[in-house]
């Protein structure tokens, strides 16, 4: 506040609380100088919720004591603290390689927020549960993994990819039943049992393609389910 604004504020205070009114010119000059000393860097009002007259009025309503300039200064500091606490320092638009400009913008924004020239940038609070758009997305794709990424992952998880492909194509999922041929349990891929020349088992490799009898069994189960 400039001296002129301080004088205006003191006149306003004098109307609400005549005890603070100074009629003597020299006394008034001293009073203005004293208030200016403490409130020189405090604005009279900002576009973002600060008004020194509001602070004065609230003090006069709440307190039996005459208002002092320090009461206004303290309120201003609390206002600044509150705003900076809510400000989340958004990433500056300046080129991050230009450290001077980047820093200047960050500090400039912070200063503008603290001095009530700009509203604090508050991040949206994270709400409970996924938003409606995510739910719609899951409904449409059936998976939080985007279809493009799933396709790229397919070579690395052939069994899973085969199941998904079957379901997408409307075919029965063979892994939904136990394999009567190799005894692979539900959800597990079929295993190839290779037999050596002497008749002993030599391997137990996973098969990408289920045994045909398992596919048939799954299809039969699906038909039964549909008929039931
Ligand atoms: Zn099998």
- Intervals of the chain under pLDDT 50: 125
Distance 34 CA to ligand 1 centre (A): 93
Distance 217 CA to ligand 1 centre (A): 11
Return the half-sphere exposure (C-beta side, CA atoms, 13 A cut-off) of residue 75. 22
pLDDT of residue 70: 94
Which residues neighbour ligand 1 (ion) by CB within 5 Å? 179, 181-182, 184, 190, 211
User: For a pLDDT cut of 90, what percent of the chain falls above it?
Assistant: 32
pLDDT of residue 14: 92
pLDDT of residue 134: 67
pLDDT of residue 69: 94
pTM for this model (two decimals): 0.49
Residue 69 and residue 34 in contact, taking contact as beta carbons nearer than 8 Å: yes
d(CA 81, CA 197): 83
What 3-state DSSP class applies to 169? coil
pLDDT of residue 172: 84
Q: Which residues contact 192 (CB under 8 A, 6 or more apart)?
A: 182, 203, 204, 205, 206, 207
pLDDT of residue 100: 87
Q: Which residues contact 210 (CB under 8 A, 6 or more apart)?
A: 162, 174, 175, 179, 189, 190
């Amino acid at each position: 506040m400039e001296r002129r604004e301080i004088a205006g504020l003191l006149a306003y205070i004098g109307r609400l609380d005549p005890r603070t009114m100074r009629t003597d010119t020299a006394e008034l000059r001293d009073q203005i100088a004293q208030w200016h000393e403490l409130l020189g860097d405090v604005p009279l009002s900002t576009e973002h919720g600060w008004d020194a007259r509001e602070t004065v009025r609230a003090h006069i309503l709440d307190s039996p004591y005459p208002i002092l300039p320090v009461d206004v200064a303290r309120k201003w500091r609390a206002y600044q603290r509150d705003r900076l606490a809510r400000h989340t320092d958004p990433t500056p638009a300046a080129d991050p390689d230009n450290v001077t400009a980047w820093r200047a913008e960050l500090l400039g924004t912070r200063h503008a927020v603290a001095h009530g020239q700009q509203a604090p940038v508050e991040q949206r609070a994270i709400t409970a549960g996924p938003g409606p758009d995510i739910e719609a997305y899951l409904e449409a794709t059936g998976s939080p993994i985007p279809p493009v990424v799933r396709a790229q992952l397919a070579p690395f998880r052939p069994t899973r990819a085969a199941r998904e492909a079957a379901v997408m194509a409307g075919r029965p999922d063979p892994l939904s039943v136990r394999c009567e041929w190799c005894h692979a349990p539900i959800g597990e891929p079929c295993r190839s049992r290779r037999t050596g020349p002497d008749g002993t088992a030599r391997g137990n490799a996973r098969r990408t393609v289920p045994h045909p009898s398992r596919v048939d069994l799954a299809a039969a189960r699906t038909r039964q389910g549909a008929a039931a």
